[in-house]
Chains A and B, each alone.
Chain A
């Protein structure tokens, strides 16, 4: 009996795996492009996998991931635009594909690759994106970097998490495959590049560091506070390690700006009520609120911001508060919230709206923040390679350091520490305010549309009313 059971087991396994693979492959045709690239991988890799298992030569890489998944998709593109390629060049995408952001970033990178290939590729070589799933874990990220290096990728893109970045930092010098990260905001990374250039020069970040993020938030905070003579601010933050740099920067900057941290309230990701946070902030006489989350707290925050009728300006950032559907999802309770957005659908550069529209109609959702930078990062590398005329790292890096690239998210110029420069005319976040369902840009001032109004809350008989203030103020 048990004999049959055991045979049964393996049959079952095979059937299941086959079924899942088949379904995944079929589902692909109907779903959006990233998934196409993903699922096409399936069919492609299956054959690959079979051959590997068929001839168990350890010299051939045993990983079915070896198949450059997107070949299929790029080929389909190629079919439409007949371009002669000299050959193929692989670029790695090291991303937490088990998170939405990872999938969106991969989609953006793939989108960039397709566009580049449609224009004839890089140095006449067809760009092939090789994805690797880090599962948001440092160890897997390290394995992924080695794997990609072994696949002969010329550059590794993505790298969203700071822990993932730190995990691969010491490998860079060993493998000499450069990284153009989008995300990984830890300032440690910048320090490392500055301290030991030779070991870490392969690291680039087509995004800003945590300190710069904090700086951007503080610019508008300081400006608004000056305008309305606020001196006490309350800070509501997600108590996870990523906010530590913001706290550190806040301590320094608040003294320069002559502001006092009236209340700092840390919350957990699975929070259900901000009543206590607002109560503390209000009772400590704060005049303005700064909020920073990375999870789904935005929704709860917006709800309680309205329910508690909090009569203070609340500016800050979350993962979803900048998305267009947020206002309706909260039933209009997001009214008056000021949100940071590291990429915004407004004609900052020629590329911005083009990318935004294309991305949105492909993925049925807006590009979440580092998605913009993932898209640009491939272009940055491609341009550097084009102007270097070679894929050789040692030649590409100096050019990257001098690069000034006009991308979808803004204008990229790398600092001493190989991080994108933060400045209103370079990379800079947009701050907008939710005004009756519209996202009205209020910062930086150079992009504020004429006739813009800022809604300032005021308490009248227990009810919160919005006072319209012309913006920017005279």
Chain B
């Protein structure tokens, strides 16, 4: 069944068109990859889906509910969690509270929230740093922190913006294993990634954007072979 539907979304910044009439649909429990060169509108699409930006035209539908004009925070409560391309945390707050802020706004019962937080911290291996200021963490831990923040929101859909960027192969493997495990437990992922060889491995379907337009969608290998994609990606893969 379809979980998220984006219907012919257009987003303009002044003169320049960041997204032109993009449509996509993500099925439940699949890993959906988005590729494309820089400035192709991937992140803009994320912002539209997560509600940071409002589209000029088109709709965003999540589980048959139109959420185009919903606050980001309400979307989180619906189960859409995301990370940012450049790592963003609350630097002057302890790791625990970075995660707890989200948990406590999703769960009204603080005991459940706390339990959920400790669960997320264990999965991401941050339990040790729970008390430290987030600003002091290493890049990998920071990514994990962002990831944990997604997890505590009891998400149905997790959107990762370049999760593998700046990580060593081992760290990437660790992250992938976590993602796959979570996917087994029924979560859905949308992943923006430049490191195609990893994305190809885990993604079920991939959409390619170029200059704000959808150029291809389908199975990873099909998309990889698609001429437009290669043209757009000259020298990238």
Asked if A and B form a direct contact in the complex, defined as CB atoms under 8 angstroms apart, the reply is no
